[in-house]
């Protein structure tokens, strides 16, 4: 049976999103700093759309929400996601965040602990933010305008995947992300600090990292997510970098649904 797909552009009140599936278990999925919901396109064929309903949300400045301006803060993203869940009629749901939005899984779980059944944080930046050296901050800032810098970043965080891979990622990012929000969300990433708000949350967490992702490695997760969340577990994907949903989509889909089915079905 064909799995239904719906595309809903954003409005002033509601973020845009793509919905895949119509199952009873609801999952809200967020993207990273440099791409919109389409980063998950390669995963969709491997997801169980009859057991789950996945909503791939676009934050302000991305994809189906590219025209939506905002404050571009952790608090705003969390509030927007909860507003979307209300709009969808979801009382309880699971949440998935990647990289930048890894910290948003923590914020949403802290803001609405009774509604978040579990959280999956993929190659995540934590509630402590990502404190960058002046040189690193300058480099990340340069990727906002420089295609060559962005290409270097995509190759670095995936363990040196091909030029064709990096070129496609650059095109995808430029086509789906507004330049204004890139700057503001980078500031959010490097200044965020709300560890005291999330420490000890009992929400079940699955933390996923790739073994070729520099910096956001298992040791970093043990110092952050696993140290703060008593019901967190870690899964390391072999031969994979920062984009498991694109680098190894069937394995990634199997990993997240294995967690959800094992814990909650």
Residues 99/115/79/95 CA torsion (nearest 10 deg) = 20
Q: Enter the CATH code of domain 5-127+194-264.
A: 3.40.50.1820
Query: Could you state, in order of their start, the residue ranges of all structural domains in the chain?
Result: 5-127+194-264
> According to DSSP H, which parts of 60-192 are helical?
74-88, 102-111, 134-142, 147-157, 163-176, 179-191
CA 31 – CA 54 distance, rounded (Å): 13
Place of tokens 């602990």: 113
Q: What is the per-residue pLDDT across 121-176, written as a single tens digit (0 to 9) for each? A: 999 999 999 999 999 999 999 999 999 999 999 999 999 899 999 999 999 999 99
Backbone angles phi, psi at 122, to 5 degrees: -105, 120
Q: Are 84 and 105 in contact (CB under 8 A)?
A: no
Report pLDDT for 264: 77
Q: pTM of whole model > 0.95?
A: yes
Banded pLDDT at 265 (limits 50, 70, 90): low
Q: What is the per-residue pLDDT across 175-233, written as a single tens digit (0 to 9) for each? A: 999 999 999 999 999 999 999 999 999 999 999 999 999 989 999 999 999 999 999 99
């Amino acid at each position: 049976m064909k799995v239904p797909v719906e595309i809903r552009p954003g409005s002033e009140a509601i973020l845009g999103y793509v919905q895949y599936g119509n199952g009873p278990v609801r999952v809200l999925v967020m993207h990273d700093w440099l791409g919109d919901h389409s980063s998950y396109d390669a995963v969709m064929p491997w997801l169980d759309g009859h057991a789950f309903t996945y909503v791939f949300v676009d934050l302000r400045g991305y994809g189906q929400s590219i025209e939506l301006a905002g404050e571009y803060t952790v608090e705003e993203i969390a509030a927007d996601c909860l507003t979307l869940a209300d709009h969808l009629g979801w009382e309880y749901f699971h949440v998935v965040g990647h990289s930048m939005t890894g910290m948003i899984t923590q914020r949403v779980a802290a803001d609405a602990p009774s509604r978040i059944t579990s959280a999956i944080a993929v190659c995540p930046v934590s509630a402590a933010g990502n404190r960058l050296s002046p040189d690193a901050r300058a480099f990340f800032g340069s990727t906002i305008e420089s295609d060559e810098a962005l290409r270097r970043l995509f190759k670095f965080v995936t363990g040196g995947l091909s030029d064709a891979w990096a070129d496609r990622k650059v095109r995808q990012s430029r086509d789906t992300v507004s330049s204004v929000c890139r700057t503001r969300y980078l500031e959010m990433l490097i200044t965020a600090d709300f560890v005291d708000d999330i420490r000890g949350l009992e929400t079940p967490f699955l933390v996923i990292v790739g073994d070729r992702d520099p910096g956001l490695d298992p040791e970093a997760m043990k110092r952050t997510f696993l140290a703060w969340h008593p019901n967190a577990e870690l899964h390391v994907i072999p031969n994979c970098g920062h984009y498991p949903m694109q680098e190894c989509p069937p394995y990634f889909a199997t990993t997240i649904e294995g967690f959800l089915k094992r814990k909650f079905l």
